[in-house]
Amino acid sequence: MAFYIFFFGLVLSFSLSVVIASDHSPLQDFCVADTRSRVLVNGLACKDPKTVEAADFSFCGLHLEGNTSNPIGSSVTPVTVFQLPGLNTLGISLVRIDYAPSGVNPPHTHPRASEIITVLEGSLEVGFVTSSPEYRHITKVLLKGDVFVFPIGLVHYQRNVGSGHAVAIAALSSQNPGVVVIASAVFGSKPSIANDILVKAFHVDKGVINYLHSIF
């Protein structure tokens, strides 16, 4: 009996790890997103494969610098299934991230993807926080050419610690990784999470929560 429970657990954990590691595998060569289709599926409906063209599998412009004139001093240029329809069902995507001096890509998580990042210009302090063991902070300074991975679902961030502009390219294990910026999710949701809940969660008084609600 114990053996069967162990075996079942093993099979279950293996199959779960396969399911959550990245998007589902395709069952055909490709399924270029038909961006005009109103059919709702897990992903996007396929364009007729006989009508696909090279443009469906390409994106132009990742050489262009993002606009970092904003309060956080960073900018993400995504190349997900919404910019490149040929990514539909393939389980991968790419982003370019630009950072002004001292710019930050604030703590966030991707609900559907691990992320592997490399620095093209400048230097970045990066980090993520583990769930088990609880809240261990894994951090490192990356120089040009260094590569780092943020495991799926974990809260992570980057900060430009060089003297000039910084640029990074990151690949993600989903056609649509999603992003949850922690501060915006907690203080900027509509409608707001009740003040007394946030007062208890953050161990601060109501004035601080009102202020944070007002700026997000």
69 is a site residue for ligand NAG (CB under 6 A): yes
Q: What is the rounded distance in angstroms from the CA atom of residue 170 to the CA atom of residue 176?
A: 14
71 contacts: CB under 8 Å, gap ≥ 6: none
Q: Is 210 in the site for ligand NAG (CB under 6 A)?
A: no
24 has binding-site annotation: no
C-alpha to C-alpha distance for 161 and 99, rounded to whole angstroms: 10
Q: Which residues pair with 75 in a beta bridge?
A: 98
In terms of CB distance, is 42 or 69 closer to ligand NAG? Answer: 69
Interaction mask 166-205, ligand NAG, x per CB under 6 A: ----------------------------------------
Enclosing H/E stretch for 119? strand 115-121
Considering the rule CB under 6 A, would residue 71 count as an interface residue with ligand NAG?
no
Residue 63 among known ligand-binding residues: no
110 is in an annotated binding site: yes
Give the footprint of ligand NAG on residues 29-58 (CB under 6 A).
Answer: none
- Minimal distance in Å, beta carbon 154 to ligand NAG? 30
Token output for 56: 């469906």
Q: Which is nearer to ligand NAG, 72 or 149 (CB)?
A: 72
List the strands of the sheet with 166-172, edge to edge.
74-79, 93-99, 166-172, 115-121, 147-150
Count the residues of the shown chain that bind ligand NAG, applying the rule CB under 6 A. Answer: 2
- Angstrom CA distances, 118 to 123, 166, 214, stand at 10, 11, 35
17 belongs to the binding site for ligand NAG (CB under 6 A): no
Contact 87, 80 (CB under 8 A): yes
| Residue placing its CB nearer to ligand NAG in the complex, 73 or 85 | 73
CA–CA separation, 15 and 172 (whole Å): 21
Query: Does the footprint of ligand NAG cover residue 67 (CB under 6 A)?
Result: yes
Which residues are documented as binding site for oxalate?
Answer: 105, 110, 115
Binding site for ligand NAG (CB under 6 A): 67, 69
Which residues are annotated binding-site positions? 105, 108, 110, 115, 156
